Amino acid sequence: MDGATYQGIALDGDAALALLEWQMEMGADVPVMDEPVDRFDLPARVAAPDLPPIAVQATPAIPPIPTEADDRAERLSQAEALAAGAGSLAELAEVQERFDGIELKKGARNFCFADGNPKARVLILGEAPGDEEDRQGRPFVGRAGRLLDQMFGAIGMARDAADAEKAIYITNVLTWRPPGNRDPHADEIQTSLPFIRRHIQLADPDVIVLMGNIACQAALEKRGILRLRGQWTQAFGRPALPMTHPAYLLRNPAAKREAWSDLLSLSARLESLSV
Ligand code: URA
């Protein structure tokens, strides 16, 4: 800074620095010269010489980041491959339990595959394990399950019946308990479908009971159980009867009348299929 001047006054280094700091504090941010520059009067710029074009190197292709849809498709195709490879119910249970494509598995205590007699003519498709089912690893063993046993008992059928004619076989759309018993998400149902289809193929029941809205959503892509109940339809290539879920009947005992009429319809259908 030696030799600096400000408005004709000689400044030593410390004084010049202090002056510069003071100017910056006052808001000066662009240094200008003592005399203004008339830029219109400057000589024309020298044209830049023609430079050889810069060779642009091709950047290596970056693989696309997998989207949520890719991930879903991947999990679905894994589920399909595993389910298709299962040659028995025991094998299906094994591969389905090992399958990690459903997040619910992380929060559940037990895998809940099925209960009852796998040779039964009637397969009941419920929704998902609740608290008691999650503890025991068996479907329909809580309050709703006890009512389900009473309902089928009333038409002479039971899960522990050795005779396939009188037996029921029970499984759910989901094999892992959703937290707080929330409804299964559409993605969870979709990913479970290959296992459900294979389960039904292997158990080979004559008829399916679709127990409640979630079963109807999975099997028929429809909800509205109070409209659908009691009306025979086809699901997974077999006769299927939507019924109100026993948990609904516990909350709405008046609906038991209609459930009774659905049970009679089931009984009559089994009778007619036997002849
Ligand atoms: N509700 C269901 O749908 N399934 C069960 O296993 C228990 C309750």
Per-residue model confidence as pLDDT tens digits over 90-133: 999 999 999 999 999 999 999 999 999 999 999 999 999 999 99
Residue 43 pLDDT: 66
pLDDT band for 1, please (50, 70, 90 cuts): very low
Domain boundaries, the chain: 70-274
- C-alpha distances (whole Å) from 19 to each of 1, 8, 11, 24, 172 are 12, 14, 9, 9, 82
pTM of the model as a whole: 0.77
Q: Above pLDDT 70, what percent of the chain?
A: 91
| Mean pLDDT calculated for residue range 142-171 | 98
| Mean pLDDT calculated for residue range 4-29 | 77
Ligand 1 centre to CA of 129 (Å) is: 5
Say yes or no: CB of residue 140 within 6 Å of ligand 1.
yes
**What CATH architecture is 70-274?**
3-Layer(aba) Sandwich (3.40)
Q: Above pLDDT 90, what percent of the chain?
A: 74
Going by alpha carbons, the residue nearest to atom 3 of ligand 1 is: 127
Ligand 1 centre to CA of 75 (Å) is: 24
Q: Which atom of ligand 1 is nearest to the CA of 112?
A: 6
Q: Which atom of ligand 1 is nearest to the CA of 212?
A: 3
Ligand 1 centre to CA of 115 (Å) is: 11
Residue 187 pLDDT: 96
Residue 179, burial from CB neighbour count under 10 angstroms (0-12, 13-18, 19+): exposed
**Distance between CA atoms of residues 29 and 49, nearest Å:** 34
